[in-house]
Amino acid sequence: MNRRISFYLTVFTALLYHIGSVDSVVVPATNCYVLDNSSHIYDFSNWNGHLFEYDGGSTDCAIRFCKDVETRSQSGYVGFGKFEGFNYFVAGSERYNFVQEFYNGDLQHCETSHDKRGRTAQLNIICGDCPNAQCKSELGCVCNVSFESDCRIIVELAIPCEKPGSRVFEGFTVGYHPRSWEIVYNGMTQYGYEKAYKDYSFDTEQSRVSLYMTAVASLSQLVQKPTVTVSPKTGLEVTLSGSAATGSPPTTLSPTLLNIDCICQTARDDPYEVQLTIPVEGYDPIQFSLTKMCESKQNEAGTSSKGWALFGIFSCIFFVISTLFCCGGFIYKTQVQRQHGIDALPGMTILSACLETVSGGGGYMRADDFNGAYASQASWTREPVSDAGSSRKSERRYGT
């Protein structure tokens, strides 16, 4: 009985852990992936380059999955296109689950085909077995090959598709600018932001990171408020602000802004991981990580801004009081003391006294002082001419 209870508790705990855990939708390592009609992702990275061959009698066909398509005959190899990117791997219709397009094959005798892109191929993928159950291998086989023209080939391929992955919120982007998507593109987290990387970290001095979010307008109401988780839990204070933090729906024409303020409270050599989770109703959540370095401790958020605000307030008060004092003193001196000009300015008496002290007591020079100074300068530069007669007269006047 105890073992049975313990078993049920274990299962219940695992179920709770599975429900509580959140897996981010990360872009696959290769471009060999596709989204089905319900936006679930199928990752065929393990199938990338896998060879499928078809024996058609006079002409054999070889398909390298997510690579290229070619035919082989006595005349040699003829390329029917190369796989260029995820834009040519889409969901199919009717009995085909997915469709791959191959372009830029051999150009000889196909110079005018499909925008001069040479030979092309279309790969119709069936999840399972061929209609006639002809696949003998567990890895699938080529069901049929047909030539639409000398420049285009149609191939049916059956493979055992794996279970679908997460449901991707298509059209959602996150970037450092309103029209960029370095972090999240088409609902999938890009490489470098799926976990903490020291090479992708922000310096200690950069305490704010601003992100812009966009989404398809018809589905923007599904985006909810983001949440943040810091690892380690202590040592870094993180706050969210902006229109995205309040839950405003983002659109392609009006992106929402998410400000992430990080203040280092404890310095450490290893970086902090700031994980953002954006829930989306009906889809798997958007999740990405930012890396923050804290080589030194920072002041609390807002301390410096408060100091500058107080300085600005006191400066304005001092300026207003000084202006009123100057105006009132000028009016008093002109109306009551009957002073005019520069002498009517408040503080000129004090300024004159200071200048007189610095200059050694010169002060303002009066008219008689000016004439005396001029006379003394003249007597110093030119001595008077005296004759013998005047000397004798002087002697008789003052002599004994």
Judgement on whether residues 155 and 38 belong to the same structural domain of the protein: yes
CATH number of the CATH domain containing 182? 2.60.40
Residue position matching structure tokens 């061959």:
53
* Averaged pLDDT for residues 305-325: 74
Residues paired with residue 89 on neighbouring β-strands, in sequence order: 100
Phi-psi region of 76 (alpha: psi -120 to 50; beta: other; left: phi over 0): left
Q: Tell whether 7 is covered by a domain.
A: no
Q: What is the torsion angle, in degrees rounded to the nearest 10, for the CA atoms of residue 155, residue 160, residue 162 and residue 168?
A: 20
Q: Tell whether 299 is covered by a domain.
A: no
Judgement on whether residues 178 and 271 belong to the same structural domain of the protein: yes
Judgement on whether residues 227 and 135 belong to the same structural domain of the protein: no
Judgement on whether residues 232 and 147 belong to the same structural domain of the protein: no
Count of positions (residues) in the chain: 400
- Confidence label for 150 from pLDDT (cuts 50, 70 and 90): confident
Judgement on whether residues 78 and 143 belong to the same structural domain of the protein: yes
pLDDT of residue 382: 47
Residues paired with residue 141 on neighbouring β-strands, in sequence order: 158
Residue position matching structure tokens 């086989």:
141
Residues 143 and 96: beta-carbon distance below 8 Å: no
Q: Tell whether 248 is covered by a domain.
A: yes
Q: State the Cα–Cα distance between residues 317 and 251, nearest whole angstrom.
A: 45
* Averaged pLDDT for residues 170-183: 94
* Averaged pLDDT for residues 145-156: 92
pLDDT of residue 76: 81
Q: Tell whether 396 is covered by a domain.
A: no
Q: Tell whether 109 is covered by a domain.
A: yes
Residues whose CB falls within 8 Å of the CB of residue 231, separated by 6 or more in sequence, listed in order:
196, 272, 273, 275
Which of 44-48, 295-299, 369-373 shows the lowest mean pLDDT across its residues? Answer: 369-373
Rounded (5°) CA angle 214-217-223: 60
> Which pLDDT tens digit goes with each residue over 107-132?
888 887 666 778 999 999 999 999 88
Residue 278 vs residue 55, higher pLDDT: 278
> Which pLDDT tens digit goes with each residue over 68-81?
999 987 778 899 99
pLDDT of residue 85: 72
Judgement on whether residues 71 and 178 belong to the same structural domain of the protein: no
Q: Tell whether 81 is covered by a domain.
A: yes
The dihedrals phi and psi of 93, each to the nearest 5 degrees, come to: -145, 165
Judgement on whether residues 149 and 228 belong to the same structural domain of the protein: no
Q: Report strand pairing: 256-264 vs 227-231.
A: unpaired
Domains held by the chain: number: 3
> Which pLDDT tens digit goes with each residue over 286-313?
999 999 999 988 876 444 444 556 777 8
Judgement on whether residues 69 and 133 belong to the same structural domain of the protein: yes
Residues whose CB falls within 8 Å of the CB of residue 190, separated by 6 or more in sequence, listed in order:
27, 181, 182, 183, 184
pLDDT of residue 337: 67
* Averaged pLDDT for residues 23-36: 89
Residues paired with residue 33 on neighbouring β-strands, in sequence order: 43
- Look up residue 49 and give its DSSP letter: T
Q: Tell whether 184 is covered by a domain.
A: yes
Judgement on whether residues 144 and 185 belong to the same structural domain of the protein: no
CA-CA distances (angstroms) from residue 334 to 283, 364, 387? Answer: 80, 21, 59
- Look up residue 197 and give its DSSP letter: -
Judgement on whether residues 283 and 262 belong to the same structural domain of the protein: yes
Domain that holds residue 329: 304-361
Judgement on whether residues 52 and 72 belong to the same structural domain of the protein: yes
CATH number of the CATH domain containing 60? 2.70.130.10
Q: State the Cα–Cα distance between residues 24 and 168, nearest whole angstrom.
A: 10
Residue type, 191: Y
* Averaged pLDDT for residues 216-238: 95
Per the confidence metrics, is the pTM higher than 0.75? no
Q: Tell whether 357 is covered by a domain.
A: yes
Q: State the Cα–Cα distance between residues 23 and 166, nearest whole angstrom.
A: 8
Judgement on whether residues 154 and 177 belong to the same structural domain of the protein: no
